[in-house]
Structure 1
Amino acid sequence: MREVLDRVVAPFAVDRRVLALAGARMADGIGNSFLIIVIPLYVTSGVVSGTAFGLGESMIIGLILSLFGFLNSSVQPFTGRLSDRVGKRKPFILIGLAGLATTNIAYVFAETYVSLLVIRGLQGVSVAFIIPASIALVNELATTGDRGGNMGVYNTFRLIGFGAGPVVAGAVVSRGPYPLPSGVTLNGFDAAFWIATITATISYGMVTVLVSDPESTVANAGADLSIPIRDRAGPNALDPVFTLGLASLFMATAIALFATIQPQVNARLEQGATWFGLQFAAFIIAQVALQTPIGRACDRYGRRPFIVTGMALLIPTTLVQGFVLSSELMFLARLSQGIAAAMVFAPSLALAGDLAGAGESGSKLSVLTMAFGYGIALGPLSSGVLVSYGFRVPFVFGTCLAVLGTILVYTQIEETLETTSPVPVVGDD
């Protein structure tokens, strides 16, 4: 099995464990992204009963989707730091995948808003075990010269799964019910939840068989694993990892504004769930196409030029979504926003990885993943509140965050990679 994997890995120029982990995250990403589309439809279908706490449907959907992100992000620093102290990554990934598979199937039995909130919250905790350990493992299997490429390959496969889910999810729900050979009929929602469970189980099996911790991963209990806010050694006011965390928070919030307001988007553009799924996936399509080449390019030309340019591009690509009036233009806007995010994501992880010392990968990189998770949580919640003031308001809010993030990375981030052929950024001397 490992010999076959080695032959598959060769064209990607990464450690086989990175590719195996990327494939596993692709599998669980399919199931997890299913739920982003399915849960809003489930809430508005009439299947769910009970009190809505006096809130409208958009707000309830925002709470359910956001709770995942808030708990996920809040727990990540602890799991990341714990994996540093223990000196192992794989057990944390397996614990998270087991929890994800269990909670996915629990949706089949959920019939109230409270049960949906509890299940989604438990999923957030489960994924908090997976993300910091996975990113730390990729970081430790890479070197300074190929860290961006490894991060790019990992994110590409993970995002293939995350992007494929929304496209398929709407079709799975709408084409139900499904008669089974046993005589039982499976409705579209239950079919989606079962698919999510199966993909998480496949991911668990892949990590168990194909992934192992590198020998160099050691516990570092005596180290100071805190993340400073001020720059202790450099010329800037803010610590670079903390700054990248803020930029990731703002970027993720702008990206995630779209998810909660599916009913409003569909009504404004006079489209159905399939078009919305394609628009949601357009962001992922751009990242899948660009993560690996951008990651490898930042290994050659430096991290900072890509991060600054990507944040600047996020400004117009977020704003335009509040003004387009056709499904095709919204698809192009989301695609362009994905290009912007692709220029930021892998180079940011690579830069933070460059700054992480021995035994610090989980703690340092969890700052970025935690911040991104908070943004994914704040985005839906923000748009759920702001859309009542007008369709454009959430996107104007996201644009303001993108402007602030651009200013921060331009003024507070220094290059960590020595390069011979730097790529200039507009405005640099």
Structure 2
Amino acid sequence: MSKKKAVLVILLSNIFIAFLGIGLIIPVMPLFMNVMHLTGSTMGYLVAAFAVAQLIASPIAGRWVDRYGRKIMIVSGLFLFALSELVFGLGTHVYVLYVARLLGGISAAFIMPAVTAYVADITTVQERSKAMGYVSAAISTGFIIGPGIGGFIAEYGVRLPFFFAAGIAFIAVISSMFMLKEPLTKEERAKQMNEVKESTFFKDLKKSIHPSYLIAFIIVFVLAFGLSAYETVFSLFTIISLDLVQKILP
């Protein structure tokens, strides 16, 4: 295996682990909701907290990826993700759960632009579309496999999936620290930043709804909206519609 392919495998593993961890918790949320005596609206707010944190942190994280480097942002994002899962699993108060979800949103904001920028740095223009397709496949695979693994682990404890997600994320942190190399030098990153005009969150948002990007913006928005709705209510809907409340919830 070439060095480039090995690095790509590590990057795909990192993004896979992040979305595996997100998927792990979906089937256990009704159980966790019952244990913590949470309402459905609170569960929705917890999901929204993740998205809001990611929305606010993403523009900042994107600039930090260019300023401080891809590797440090990937490692930091994975560490924050592991910490968020650990805190959520240990949480016994609602405010702790909100803190965990906010950390999770920030971690996603760190990981996604850093991984995509890293992939762009190590691939040619001809290879880039294929590599980005692999990134998308890693995200989907993690999200598909996660709920099945989470449901199995939850049989041994409702909080165990969170600890499992934290554990594999910490492993990814360690492997990334030793196996990933920064693809660009400090001088190359500085040159790259100088070539890009200084922007703000609102300027970036305005660009995203420009006619050239509007269709892509709508597609991503609809997909994200559907995913958030699924994460919030699907497991609850399944348990209620199949009349499994008394069988599953203590």
Give the TM-score, by structure 2 length. Answer: 0.82
Relative to 1, partners in 2 of residues 1:145 and 1:99: Cα closer, same or farther, differing over 3 Å?
Answer: same
Aligned residue-pair number: 236
- Hey, what does 1:251 align to over in structure 2? 223
**Conservation of the 8 A alpha-carbon contact between 1:19 and 1:154:** no
Identify unmatched segments of 5+ residues in structure 2. Answer: 246-250
Q: Output the CA distance in 2 between the equivalents of 1:213 and 1:271.
A: 52
Identify which of 197, 204, 207 aligns with 1:224: 197
Provide the secondary structure at the position in 2 that maps to 1:224.
Answer: coil
CA drift at 1:168: 1.5
Aligned partner of 1:141: which letter? I
- Which string of whole-angstrom CA distances, capped at 9 and with x for unpartnered residues, describes residues 304-352 of structure 1? xxxxxxxxxxxxxxxxxxxxxxxxxxxxxxxxxxxxxxxxxxxxxxxxx
- Which string of whole-angstrom CA distances, capped at 9 and with x for unpartnered residues, describes residues 59-103 of structure 1? 1111111211110122011110122234x1100111111122222
Relative to 1, partners in 2 of residues 1:104 and 1:167: Cα closer, same or farther, differing over 3 Å?
Answer: same
Is residue 79 of structure 2 the alignment partner of residue 98 of structure 1? Answer: yes
**Conservation of the 8 A alpha-carbon contact between 1:139 and 1:147:** yes
CA drift at 1:271: 6.6
Aligned partner of 1:264: which letter? F
Q: Output the CA distance in 1 between the equivalents of 2:103 and 2:207.
A: 34
Relative to 1, partners in 2 of residues 1:242 and 1:132: Cα closer, same or farther, differing over 3 Å?
Answer: farther
Identify which of 141, 158, 162 aligns with 1:193: 162
Relative to 1, partners in 2 of residues 1:254 and 1:190: Cα closer, same or farther, differing over 3 Å?
Answer: closer
Is residue 50 of structure 2 the alignment partner of residue 68 of structure 1? Answer: yes
- Which string of whole-angstrom CA distances, capped at 9 and with x for unpartnered residues, describes residues 252-280 of structure 1? 21343222223234433x2759xxxxxxx
CA drift at 1:153: 1.5
Identify which of 223, 234, 238 aligns with 2:210: 238
Identify unmatched segments of 5+ residues in structure 1. Answer: 1-5, 177-187, 232-236, 274-429
Q: Output the CA distance in 2 between the equivalents of 1:272 and 1:172.
A: 18
Is residue 36 of structure 2 the alignment partner of residue 48 of structure 1? Answer: yes
**Conservation of the 8 A alpha-carbon contact between 2:76 and 2:107:** yes
- Which string of whole-angstrom CA distances, capped at 9 and with x for unpartnered residues, describes residues 103-140 of structure 1? 22222331122221121112211222111111111122
- Hey, what does 2:15 align to over in structure 1? 25
Q: Output the CA distance in 1 between the equivalents of 2:172 and 2:179.
A: 10
Aligned partner of 2:160: which letter? A
Give the TM-score, by structure 1 length. Answer: 0.50
Relative to 1, partners in 2 of residues 1:272 and 1:141: Cα closer, same or farther, differing over 3 Å?
Answer: farther
**Conservation of the 8 A alpha-carbon contact between 1:228 and 1:242:** no
Q: Output the CA distance in 2 between the equivalents of 1:228 and 1:29.
A: 25
Q: Output the CA distance in 1 between the equivalents of 2:5 and 2:198.
A: 27
CA drift at 1:230: 5.8
Structure 1 or 2, whichever has the larger Rg, is 1
Aligned partner of 1:74: which letter? I
- Hey, what does 1:15 align to over in structure 2? 5
Provide the secondary structure at the position in 1 that maps to 2:184.
Answer: coil
Provide the secondary structure at the position in 2 that maps to 1:73.
Answer: helix
Q: Output the CA distance in 1 between the equivalents of 2:125 and 2:101.
A: 37
Q: Output the CA distance in 2 between the equivalents of 1:126 and 1:156.
A: 20
Q: Output the CA distance in 2 between the equivalents of 1:157 and 1:198.
A: 19
Structure with the largest fraction of helix: 2
Relative to 1, partners in 2 of residues 1:266 and 1:225: Cα closer, same or farther, differing over 3 Å?
Answer: farther
Is residue 184 of structure 2 the alignment partner of residue 215 of structure 1? Answer: yes
1:312-331 correspondence runs (5 A): none
Q: Output the CA distance in 2 between the equivalents of 1:128 and 1:69.
A: 10
Q: Output the CA distance in 1 between the equivalents of 2:16 and 2:134.
A: 11
**Conservation of the 8 A alpha-carbon contact between 2:16 and 2:141:** yes
Relative to 1, partners in 2 of residues 1:137 and 1:40: Cα closer, same or farther, differing over 3 Å?
Answer: farther
Relative to 1, partners in 2 of residues 1:80 and 1:138: Cα closer, same or farther, differing over 3 Å?
Answer: same
Provide the secondary structure at the position in 1 that maps to 2:182.
Answer: coil
Identify which of 108, 122, 145 aligns with 1:127: 108
Relative to 1, partners in 2 of residues 1:264 and 1:157: Cα closer, same or farther, differing over 3 Å?
Answer: closer
